[in-house]
Amino acid sequence: MHSSRRWIISALAALAVLLPVTAQAQTKTVRLAKQFGISYLPLTIMEQKQLLEAHGKRLGLDLKTEWVVFTSGAPMNEAIISGNLDFASGGVGPLLTIWGKTRTNLGVKGVSALNSMPLYLNTINPNVKTIKDFTDKDRIALPAVKVSIQAITLQIAAEKEFGPGQHGKLDALTASLGHPDGYAAMMSGKSEISGHFTSAPFMYQELDDKRVHKVLDSYEVLGGPHTFNVIWATTKFHDENPKVVEAFIAALDDAMKQIAANPAEAAAIWVKAENSKLSAAYIEKLIRLPENEWTMVPKKVMVYAEFMSRIGMLSPKPGSWGDLFFPEIQKLPGS
């Protein structure tokens, strides 16, 4: 009897040792995606400084992160639909597309804006002064034909230039290439790619070359600063992981505050993380440009939504920008 009691006590002691280990072992892996360019700088800071893990810990969560890089929003949407991704990031166009397509099932919505930044359409062709000057001999590289934010901005510009119903006039000249490949193709001067509708830092690098000039600026097309990139997730993930979403938003806000407080440090982190050949001083200069704003506030997303709805790319049309985002950021002054 005495020995059996001793066995029970030692078994309970062993169990007590094991229990905390079991509780600690319930680590949640969060899968996040970003793309190329400094527009994803807040996510790079979040990744390199492990801010999601830190803010998760503050909320009692034990989080691990897995980061993947995509060349455009379309394959990212496939990953989120198949359940292989928790947080996607990309242009407003891909968010609106997946929002419309998943309304009755996955219910994908925006978690936050990532920035407000202009997009430039640059060309190496001296004969092209406006988008009217592109001919069948030209090809315009952009991240994804017809669906990327660059492609949709080009359609809005084409409708303004050529008239109602002419939004697709330049679509035949566009080619899907990731930002680095589009940059390399145009700058080689030996490719059929004579135009590149791209983002920072690629558009600024191109303009450093005397052969290149700007044809179009998205801020001019939309009538002012607009959101370039956003983060999105499924309603299922959002509803099942409220604390993870809370930690993510806190981490993103933290990253943006760090960028504002110390642009030089942010630039150095980005250059190292991206293994970029650009200097940290050059990236810092871009971060500090007033036109590049690191903000969670969605701006002019409804301009894109209304255009895409009108041309049949988006159904149904959202009633307001708030319909496109989860409640956590709806208190912000979005548009």
Taking the alpha carbons at both ends of the chain, their separation in whole angstroms is 75
Q: Does residue 298 belong to any structural domain of this protein?
A: yes
Contacts of 330 (CB under 8 A, 6+ apart): 322
Residues 186 and 319 in one domain: no
Q: Does residue 109 belong to any structural domain of this protein?
A: yes
How many beta carbons lie within 10 A of that of residue 19, not counting itself? 10
What local confidence, expressed as pLDDT, does residue 238 receive?
A: 97
Residues 182 and 240 in one domain: no
Q: How far is it, in rounded angstroms, from Cα 149 to Cα 219?
A: 13
What local confidence, expressed as pLDDT, does residue 113 receive?
A: 98
Q: Does residue 258 belong to any structural domain of this protein?
A: yes
What local confidence, expressed as pLDDT, does residue 2 receive?
A: 54
What local confidence, expressed as pLDDT, does residue 72 receive?
A: 76
| Helix boundaries (H) for 212-294 | 218-222, 235-240, 242-261, 263-274, 280-288
Alpha-carbon distances, residue 43 vs 46, 65, 106, 287 (angstroms): 5, 12, 24, 14
**Parallel/antiparallel/unpaired status of strands 109-113 and 229-233:** antiparallel
Residues 56 and 199 in one domain: no
Q: Does residue 13 belong to any structural domain of this protein?
A: no
226-280 pLDDT, tens digit per residue, is 999 999 999 999 999 999 999 999 999 999 999 999 999 999 999 999 999 999 9
Residues 197 and 211 in one domain: yes
How many beta carbons lie within 10 A of that of residue 241, not counting itself? 17
Residues 318 and 272 in one domain: yes
Q: Which of 15-24, 284-293, 303-312 comes out lowest in average pLDDT? A: 15-24
161: domain CATH number? Answer: 3.40.190.10
Residues 216 and 247 in one domain: no
Strands (E), 55-170: 63-69, 88-91, 109-113, 120-123, 139-142
- In one-letter notation, the amino acid at residue 76 is M
State the angle between helix axes of 301-310 and 149-162 in degrees (0 to 180), rounded to the nearest 10.
70
- In one-letter notation, the amino acid at residue 9 is I
- In one-letter notation, the amino acid at residue 29 is T
Residues 165 and 257 in one domain: no
Residues 103 and 243 in one domain: yes
Rg (CA), the chain: 23
Tokens in use for 146?
């017809």
Contacts of 37 (CB under 8 A, 6+ apart): 179, 199, 200, 201, 202
Q: How far is it, in rounded angstroms, from Cα 266 to Cα 262?
A: 6
What local confidence, expressed as pLDDT, does residue 243 receive?
A: 97
149-177 pLDDT, tens digit per residue, is 999 999 999 999 999 999 999 999 999 99
Q: Does residue 152 belong to any structural domain of this protein?
A: yes
Q: Does residue 38 belong to any structural domain of this protein?
A: yes
Q: Look-up: residue for tokens 């680095």? A: 180
Q: For residue 317, is pLDDT > 70?
A: yes
Q: For residue 6, is pLDDT > 60?
A: no
**Parallel/antiparallel/unpaired status of strands 63-69 and 28-34:** parallel
Overall number of domains in the chain: 2
Query: CB–CB of 90/113 below 8 Å?
Result: no
Closest residue by Cα to residue 66 from 28, 18, 39:
28
Tokens in use for 237?
């993930």
What local confidence, expressed as pLDDT, does residue 23 receive?
A: 38
30-52 pLDDT, tens digit per residue, is 999 998 889 999 999 999 999 99
Which one of 189, 222, 255 terminates a domain?
A: 222
Contacts of 172 (CB under 8 A, 6+ apart): none
| Average pLDDT of the chain to the nearest whole number | 92
Residues 82 and 154 in one domain: no
Tokens in use for 159?
């409708």
Which one of 188, 222, 256 terminates a domain?
A: 222
Phi, psi of 312 (to 5 degrees): 85, 15
Q: Which of 23-32, 271-280, 295-304 comes out lowest in average pLDDT? A: 23-32
Q: For residue 55, is pLDDT > 70?
A: yes
Q: How far is it, in rounded angstroms, from Cα 74 to Cα 159?
A: 24
Q: Does residue 125 belong to any structural domain of this protein?
A: yes
Q: Look-up: residue for tokens 């590289």? A: 141
- Model confidence at 85, in pLDDT bands (50, 70, 90)? very high
Which one of 201, 222, 243 terminates a domain?
A: 222
Predicted TM-score of the model (pTM): 0.88
- Residues spanned by the domain of 284: 27-116+227-329
What local confidence, expressed as pLDDT, does residue 26 receive?
A: 66
Contacts of 329 (CB under 8 A, 6+ apart): 110, 111, 112, 113, 249, 296, 297, 298
Number of H helices, E strands in the chain: 14, 10
